[in-house]
Structure 1
Amino acid sequence: MSEPQKYADRIYRSGSAIAAGVLLLGLAGWLGGDAILRGEDRTPLTAASTLLFVVPLVVAFTLRPAVFASDERLRVRNPFRTITAPWGAVDTIRSSYSTEVLAGGTKYQMWAIPVSMRARSKATRHNDQVASGRPARGGLMGLSFGGGGMAGSQDTGPRVPPGDAAVAELRELAERHGEKTQGGTVGVRWSYEILAPLAVGAVGLAVMWLTG
């Protein structure tokens, strides 16, 4: 018999965080590069230390967070840690004020899937209108998942906020694959590629401040 077909990881990331990160990195590179090239006295060293401190922080909180879901495991890449858990070790995935995975008896936040209380409120109002029979109008931020239609057209389908939809998908994957892979060990790895330059930048800024 042929082996079951394996699919590529499902990847969950925040588009708005990525856009903000690119913008901030561009701004930091422009200001910091100008200070390094044109600054006098200690300015270039201060600018370099600041970049070493700021750039890893921006990358950590905007570009780095992601959630990868395969048939075998869930991998959560947070700002400073990466958590890898086989589906059999995942107890539950939930969303309240933040999205969280409980694996191996420990709770881990999923930074890549933010919770929007505003989106939840809008979805609740829309769904209440549909349930009561009142016409609900579609909008740029309010198209139902899985549906089409142009902005401003009547929207009669239920809405689910993007964060809650992602959590529902992950919960379904955990239930589906968890039965096949019971148990397993949760692995946690610190992101030294972020922490190392961050620490160097912090030390450089401290030295500049103490000797200034």
Structure 2
Amino acid sequence: MSEQLGLREQHKRRTRDAIGAAAMSLFFQHGYDAVTVADVARQAGVSVATVFNYFDTKEDLFFDEVEPLQAALVDAVRRCPPGDSVLLALRHQVFYQLTAGRTDADADEVARFHAAVVESPDLQRREQHIQLERRQVLTRALAEALGTDTPALTVELAAAQYLAAEAVVGAQLRARLLDGQPLGQARVQLQPLIDEVFSTLRTGLGPLVKTEAAR
């Protein structure tokens, strides 16, 4: 029985992967908005009903790696040794999260992904919703890691500030990729920005005093 369950799970995983691969191939080739779920089903050799057995919405076909990336973010917090900086652990996650763990060998895929988001209002709305989900997930992980002595407001702000920092770097990465810069080069050139952003998170923004010239 356990062997049958194992084979069944393997089949389900292969089917899901095939549907996901077919979807991304079509999205990159024709543009997200031009592709229907029926197109994806035909490309994958399955029925539309089968597609929806594995993916709730068309947007989920595109953002297929949200859950694994959220798990990686939570794992980074949980694996941080006691006494070490959780903020530093999150800093090391930035590029992994923004590239879905892709290496420079997959640079073209990363660039096409970001280009597709820029071209589709539907994907941009879904991306914003995903950020809200990630904030909730990260807040829970930080609350567990920092302990009950840390105020809830501090935990919520920490989660929000990490995502804001990631967004700042992500906007720069997306702009560079759309401008044709290789991923490896962008990765190197954005390191000073990441250092500056996380240094600001560590030290705080200060009172943000308005200057006389800004009247």
The TM-score range, normalised by the shorter chain, is under 0.3
Task: Name whichever structure is richer in helix by fraction.
Answer: 2
Per the normalisation by structure 1, the TM-score is 0.27
Q: Scaled by the length of structure 2, what TM-score is found?
A: 0.27
